[in-house]
Amino acid sequence: QMKTRMVEAAATKTLMLLFKDPFKVVEKWFEPDKHFIYWETYEDLHAKLSDITTNYEKYWHIVENAHAHVQQYSIEKVLVTGASGFVGQNLMNRLNHMKKEVPFTLLGPSHLELDLTIDWDVGSYFNQYKPDIVLHLAGRVGGIGINKAKPAEFFYENLMMGAHVMHHAWKNGTEKVVALAAGCGYPKYLQPPYKESDFWSALPDENSIGYSMAKKNLIIQSWTYREQYGFNSVILLPANLYGPY
């Protein structure tokens, strides 16, 4: 039982550390040069961690060897934008659970506390709190009707949110930004199954083009900030979302 608890704690800590630098963590933990275990993608690592927690005897020698390495890393502050939204509420629940194993300060300001469309507000907030990790989930969202009626508002507000968050994260020394773009950014007439290489091949559906193009700009900003500043960011494309809240 003690070993099981230690492995579960180790797996939880590793998932938290993935927000920092997944490849560094994998190398530190599983030492591919010693022919232990190595996974190239988050999905592979997540699946293997699940296997570890249920079949700990098979992997105990690896976890025992790696356990000391986890103590080298620490995350002090994690900022979640859009913390009161659908994805945000679910993620906040998960992060609050993870805090029991990896203590850190969790920031989830409301829109009244932080207006992401205002550059001064975002700059002041980042300068005050200086988060280590930013999980950018906030956005102006709505159905097809409101997207068609107000495409400019959806474009402007989502564009400003993403630009301000990424820029001030970089300026204030944030270690990593993980942001959600939108699956609706894929071309309108693209036939399934979708491939990532098709993402930029044509324009998305015009009914939500303001929203989807603003979210696609997160990827451009991520590329350019990595190229010029070496800033670490990842933009995720959820295929679909469902669940509580």
> What's the pLDDT at 38?
39
- Mean pLDDT confidence for 178-190: 92
- Selected residue with higher pLDDT from 33 and 16: 16
Residue with tokens 């994690």: 78
- Mean pLDDT confidence for 220-233: 95
The residues with which 135 forms a beta bridge, in sequence order, are 80, 178
Q: Report the distance separating Cα 47 and Cα 37, nearest Å.
A: 13
> What's the pLDDT at 25?
44
Q: Based on C-alpha coordinates, what's the Rg of the chain?
A: 19
> Is the model's pLDDT at 165 over the cut of 70?
yes
- pTM beyond cutoff 0.85: no
> Is the model's pLDDT at 138 over the cut of 80?
yes
> Is the model's pLDDT at 37 over the cut of 90?
no
